[in-house]
Homo-oligomer: A and B are copies of this chain.
Amino acid sequence: MSDRDATDVDRVVVALDVGGTGMKCALVRPDGVAVRTERHPTDAARGPQAVIGTILDVALGLADKARADGLTPVAVGIAVPGVVDEARGVAVWSANVGFRDVPLRDLAVSRLGLPTALGHDVRVGGLAEARLGAGRGAGHVLFVAIGTGIAAAHVVDGVAAVGAHGAAGEIGHIMVRPDGPRCGCGRPGCLEAVASASAIGRRYAELAGGSTDGAVTAAEVAERAAVGEPLAGRVWQEAVEALADGLASGQALFDVATIVLGGGLAQAGGLLLNPLRAALHERMTFHREPRLVAAALGDEAGCLGAALLALDAMGVRDHQERR
């Protein structure tokens, strides 16, 4: 390094976490601290070309703001949902932003002139939770995001498993109830079809029939269960049992030290964690029981993880905790 190179203090990564409705964006230092955060609408209805344009505009804008603040943008990290081929930097398939084989990494490199890493939203979220958040120090972490869907990231020594085709971690599609409701993927009884936030809301509405006015969210089901409403209690416990089955199967395969729960449903806190810990404990026979904890980084995890991925790709990893 020459004397004129940027020091750690002023180097930042331009990081974007692209979701179906909004993009969380940040300038992140090598030590994992976000020095500026922004949010922008994705507005996916405009079509994939428009979304790609927004992503590149926002990234360029952030890089410019970094320079204006005397910082040096050294890389770009972008997280998208769906199937992501991290090695080739291609968004293979992202239903909720309409991407199909978009070479997002190369597009960003061309536009910004900076090394860019493309990652999967849940996998980079897991990366951030494992290295900077609730899994810090655990070495072997399973991060499970429970929201509209359910997906996971298996992180060992600070590296998230990607799979042969960028599709690893789909814990929402392990089969837990052979006679259960059909999943969006087409198969019956997937964990996601039984225990995602949307599945819980649906199940409550189905059992309540006409006796509830309007949609009830999973969070409301949790609250109603907590104050003793029998129907809510039944629906919540069904979901907890299914989640425990899924996590126990995951633990049998992965043998992690810590399971970190993220996503919207994890915001139920103890209403979810306490019964889930008990149900998981009941299922641990030969297994070593993992710690089960709530995510610590909130909805910034994806953005921080995208930055970590970009730094990893550049070989800059000294400043974060590895295990």
Contact = CB atoms under 8 A, between A and B. Distances in A.
Given A163-B140, A175-B248, A178-B178, A187 B283 contact: yes
A225 interface: no
What is the total number of copies of this protein in its complex? 2
A283 B178 CA distance: 12
Contact of A286 (B162, B167, B290): B167
A253 B164 contact: no
A256 B139 contact: no
B173 A286 contact: yes
A178 to B, nearest CB: 7
A168 to B, nearest CB: 4
* Chain A contact surface mostly: loop
B173 A252 contact: yes
Contact of A167 (B167, B178, B248, B255): B255
B178 A177 contact: yes
A175 B249 contact: yes
> Which 6 A-B residue pairs are closest in the complex by CB-CB distance?
A163-B255, A140-B164, A174-B249, A185-B285, A168-B255, A164-B257
21 contacts: A138-B164, A140-B163, A154-B253, A156-B161, A164-B255, A164-B288, A165-B288, A167-B255, A167-B286, A167-B287, A167-B288, A168-B253, A169-B255, A170-B255, A171-B253, A172-B252, A174-B249, A175-B283, A177-B178, A187-B283, A250-B253
